[in-house]
Structure 1
């Protein structure tokens, strides 16, 4: 990953953790630099961003320590997603709520326009992006 792209990704991560960027804004910035997908790993507190050729960069996403529920609750994950869509909480709040719902991480498929949230034993919940185009 080149230094310019890494800088954009680091800025997006910092601003997301600070509650300064919305999910659509982040998607727009990442799509603009060619990011195809990313994987947020709550246990490792990091996100791996990928270009279409497989080139990647890992960025730390420190958040408060919080236990992940044993049971995965797709309805609770969906409720947290809906709160995010309405700008009712921060990204850190979202992390804590989805961890409480048994989520250990998620994959954002920018080109596939979906997010796949998953639990400890492989349970998953898929959210599709709204139909509006991603813009910068």
Structure 2
């Protein structure tokens, strides 16, 4: 995995200057197979196909994750990001407020799994290309 590209993608995400689709394409090109954004640990871990991983700090607000998972709230944040109305920093705040503790992006599988505190899940497929 190319750690320089991963770091660049993280900077661009946190700055709100690149879309999810752009980031995923760049990460795939850098050899990333999947990644997990852990809101509680405030880290993002990137995984390569050979079992390698790379963890960086996740910049996000200090707000606690509520106990209830609001699937509709998570979906609203996703739809806003897909429209370009919600950039990554706001997406993180909105999804945390909806009870999301983190999410796993499956680049090869073309979907994202969002998790709640009690193990709830919402799976969102990538939009068609």
TM-score computed with the length of structure 2 as normaliser: 0.97
Q: Name the Cα RMSD after superposition.
A: 0.8
Q: What is aligned with 2:11?
A: 14
1:43 and 2:43 aligned: no
1:96 and 2:106 aligned: no
- Cα deviation for residue 80 of structure 1 reads 0.5
CA–CA distance in structure 2, aligned partners of residues 43 and 68 of structure 1: 8
CA–CA distance in structure 2, aligned partners of residues 90 and 17 of structure 1: 9
Q: What is aligned with 1:124?
A: 121
Q: What is aligned with 1:114?
A: 111
Which residues of structure 2 form unaligned runs of 5+?
A: none
Q: What is aligned with 2:65?
A: 68
- Cα deviation for residue 53 of structure 1 reads 1.1
Deviations 1:12-56 (A, max 9, x none): 001100001100000010111221000000011110000011101
CA–CA distance in structure 1, aligned partners of residues 105 and 24 of structure 2: 9
CA–CA distance in structure 2, aligned partners of residues 83 and 130 of structure 1: 13
TM-score computed with the length of structure 1 as normaliser: 0.92
Of 90, 95, 105, the match for 2:102: 105
1:80 and 2:74 aligned: no
CA–CA distance in structure 1, aligned partners of residues 128 and 71 of structure 2: 22
Question: How many pairs were matched up?
Answer: 129
CA–CA distance in structure 2, aligned partners of residues 39 and 82 of structure 1: 20
CA–CA distance in structure 1, aligned partners of residues 53 and 99 of structure 2: 27
Deviations 1:81-102 (A, max 9, x none): 0000001122111111111110
Matched residue of 1:70: which SS? Answer: coil
